[in-house]
Amino acid sequence: MSDKIYLLILKTGIYASLLSVFLVFTNLLFPFITSKQISFNILIEILFVIWATFLVKYPNYRPKWSYISFGLVAFFLALTLSSFTGVDFNLSFWGDIERMLGVFHLLHFLVFYFIIITVMRKWDDWKWFFIVSTLFAIIVSLKGLGEDTKTYSTIGNTAYVSGYLIFNFYFCLLLFFKEKASSLKWLYLLPLPIYFLEFNKANTTGALVGLGFSLIVLFFLYGILAENKKIKLATLSLFVFLAVFSGLALTYKDSDFIRKNSLLAPIAGIDVGKNTFQTRLISWKAAIKDFKNHPILGTGHGNYAITFDKYFTADFYNFTRSETYFDRAHNNVIDIASTSGALGLITYLSIFFATAYYLIRGYIKKYFNVHEFVLISSLIIAYFVQNLAVFDSLVTYMGIMMTLALVYWFYQEGEDSIVDDAKEIVANKAKRMTSSGVDNKETYTLLGVGVIVFIIMWNYNILPLKMLVGTIEGQKAWAQGRAEDTVEIYKDALSYNTVLDRDSRTSLIRIFASNPNAYNKFPASDRLEVANYIIDLAQKNVDYNPGDSLNQMMLAQVCDTASKLVEVGGDKFNYYNDRAMDAINASIGASPGRAPVYFQKAQIYLSAGNSEKAVETLKEAVALNEEYYDSSCHLGRTLIYLGQTEEGYEYIGKCIDMGGASLLSPSGLVKSYASHFNEEGDTERVIKLFDRLVKLNPKDTSVRIDLAKLYAANGQKEEAIETAIEISEIDPTVESYVNEFIDSLE
């Protein structure tokens, strides 16, 4: 093929890669992630075959030496090396389904970069590339704005949406300043209000800080570099205004002026004291503490969870009771330092130092005009700053690779005449085309690389795709009550033995780990066989990394559940119970500050009839953090179950007082607790328990009637009236009685 055809195919493929942002296949596990990444992988692998063949036939098109390219290659080599030296190679290199950020997937972005710098030969190529990207961003924004709640759009995460919009915001500005036709120029600014509305709705603190800081830098740079005195004065004035206004807005972020203004309200969310920041601070401290243990190559790319677990303390529960497992540091720099060590961090930062070098040197040499220099610099700053509170995703990896490639192109265009290179290519084209050796090389490369890439594509993209489809089919079967079909479908899905089976196994394990009665849906003769299969799946996940606290706990859960299927005290029981105890001890050893793991250990002791050890273990959990009411709830419930009612109700009382009534169930148990505290005349606790009963039985008017009476007796007239009105809404036939009750209160 001619070089023009190769370039057309490759450019079309690169443009098409931007479509991945829209892909959400609901028949896949984690559809917002897997749909995009697997599709992107397959496309890039196909393009890689064409690109490699193209470079063999037309060597003059090979990318030139660049510190940016060197930094990228060095960084990905560091990540790859850390995968081999880390604690879990599978997670490091292949990644998991939830994130799909293993080295294998990241290497596709490196290829994406190299193809871009190969085929983007003139500004028109870039112009249409950015036009396509910004048009797609409009669609993503409109989709998000049309959603009632969180603005996930087609991307699936508000932080990812925000990062995606930052890139396209700056792409629009680049198009505006590069456009020579004044009639078209202003069209490129039309998407900005749409982006801003969607960005504002996403309300992601890290992205807000990143974009805001980059705009301050933007006006500062314009103020310093602009040649026109009026522009210099205006931009410096804007810089001062934004800097001062930002400082005042952050200082008075709780004022009505900020909170009641829809445009400024997101600033109120920038608070170092809020729970999400505090939990991330705990996470970052863990990484810093552990760095000395793995200073060169870290724990292995993607293995941040083991560090977080190791230094997890129960104080974490003071800020949140959910999202207590961090598989990322939520700070790109800290995450890279923790998982790939100093080597990973140095090579990562080298990419940005190289970019800064080319930007500054290129600006001095007039390769970049002031607009190009300022906008690209500000974009990279926005990206870097926002990543201090989050981590990369497909859309931001694509965005940064496009940006780095753009810097490469601007600088190379300045260093070498693209026109002259093109003439040289044309002059030598006839000679190359008549060489049978070159033609043979083209054929051999196409076939050789094509076969290798097809094998990679089949094993690491197509087969995982089949596995993911099967996983969803298995989940559907379970939801439809087809228990036996569920296991068979999962067995079929996992029969492909893909490198990404981990999350599929986990999805089936969770069904049985969280639902001990799940085995009752199978014939009695099959239950133990199913249990052994589930245990085998859990063990395979543990084998990746025996230091994984969560996987060890799930293994303990399914082993404990299996022990309930056999005679207590028998050999099989002891086998399952011992395996459960070994796994739960390993889980606690990996993360000794996690109270819920102790709950599971207590359950294993109870299964074995060792009530004394169960209580002792739960008291250990309480001691980890007295304010974590979950522990008091579990201990109190267990003590009452064991007949130690006096001490048990003492802990149930603490559980209720700290807000733990929401954990108590079923209704019969909650009623018995309410009866006990009613006898003691503890109306406050009784009210909280009846409020819980209302939530457990939302259509039961009798519970609400009792709650309304309790409110009235306790002098809580407004709550009594509100509850009475709810009763009439559920059962209109009692409206007259409700009105009499309300009148009696007034």
pLDDT band at 496 (very low <50, low <70, confident <90, very high): very high
Q: What is the pLDDT of residue 665?
A: 92
Q: Are 449 and 49 in contact (CB under 8 A)?
A: yes
Nearest of 493, 323, 405 to residue 119 by alpha carbon: 405
Length of the chain: 746
Q: Please give the single-letter amino acid code of residue 147.
A: E
Q: What is the pLDDT of residue 746?
A: 72
Helices (H), 365-462: 370-386, 394-415, 418-433, 436-457
Q: Please give the single-letter amino acid code of residue 243.
A: A
Q: Among 197-201, 575-579, 611-615, which stretch is predicted with the lowest mean pLDDT? A: 197-201
Residue 328, by phi and psi: left (phi above 0), alpha (psi -120 to 50) or beta? Answer: beta
Q: Among 148-157, 251-260, 359-368, which stretch is predicted with the lowest mean pLDDT? A: 251-260
For residue 422, with 0-12 CB atoms within 10 Å meaning exposed, 13-18 middle and 19 or more buried, which class applies? middle
Torsion angle in degrees (nearest 10) through CA of 217, 219, 224, 225 = 100
Nearest of 639, 591, 719, 633 to residue 309 by alpha carbon: 591
Q: What is the pLDDT of residue 250?
A: 79
Say what percent of the chain tops pLDDT 90: 82
Annotate 14-28 with DSSP letters as a single string. Answer: HHHHGGGGG---TTS
Q: Are 10 and 47 in contact (CB under 8 A)?
A: yes
- Mean pLDDT score, 649-667: 95
Buried b (16+ CB within 10 A) or exposed e, 26-61: eebbbbbbbbbbbbbbbbbbbbbbbbbbbbbbbeeb
pLDDT band at 738 (very low <50, low <70, confident <90, very high): confident
pLDDT in tens, 155-203: 999 999 999 999 999 999 999 999 998 888 999 999 999 999 999 999 8
Rg of the chain taking only CA atoms, in angstroms: 31
Q: Which of the four CATH numbers 1.10.287.1060, 1.25.40.10, 3.40.50.720, 3.30.70.260 does domain 664-746 have?
A: 1.25.40.10
Q: Tell how far CA 526 is from the center of its chain.
A: 38
pLDDT band at 262 (very low <50, low <70, confident <90, very high): low
The token pair that represents 535 in the structure block = 């245990």
In the block, which residue shows the tokens 């094509």?
450
pLDDT in tens, 88-147: 999 999 999 999 999 999 999 999 999 999 999 999 999 999 999 999 999 999 999 998
Measured at the alpha carbon of residue 107, what is the angle toward residues 499 and 175, in degrees to the nearest 5? 135
Q: Tell how far CA 72 is from the center of its chain.
A: 23
Residues near 312 by beta carbon (within 8 Å), at least 6 away in sequence? 282, 286, 324, 591, 593, 594
Measured at the alpha carbon of residue 727, what is the angle toward residues 726 and 730, in degrees to the nearest 5? 85
- Specify the DSSP class assigned to residue 65: P
Q: What is the pLDDT of residue 436?
A: 39
Give the predicted TM-score (pTM) of the model.
0.92
Query: Is the pLDDT score of 503 beyond 90?
Result: yes
Query: Is the pLDDT score of 269 beyond 90?
Result: no
Please give the Cα distance from 452 to 48 (Å, whole number): 11
Residues near 107 by beta carbon (within 8 Å), at least 6 away in sequence? 76
Please give the Cα distance from 473 to 479 (Å, whole number): 10
Nearest of 544, 548, 566, 554 to residue 508 by alpha carbon: 554
Annotate 271-287 with DSSP letters as a single string. Answer: -TTSHHHHHHHHHHHHH
The overall longest dimension of the chain from CA atoms, in Å, is 103
Nearest of 622, 559, 578 to residue 596 by alpha carbon: 622
Residue 701, by phi and psi: left (phi above 0), alpha (psi -120 to 50) or beta? Answer: alpha
- Mean pLDDT score, 309-328: 90
The domain spans of the chain are 664-746
pLDDT in tens, 387-422: 999 999 999 999 999 999 999 999 999 987 544 544
- Mean pLDDT score, 660-682: 94
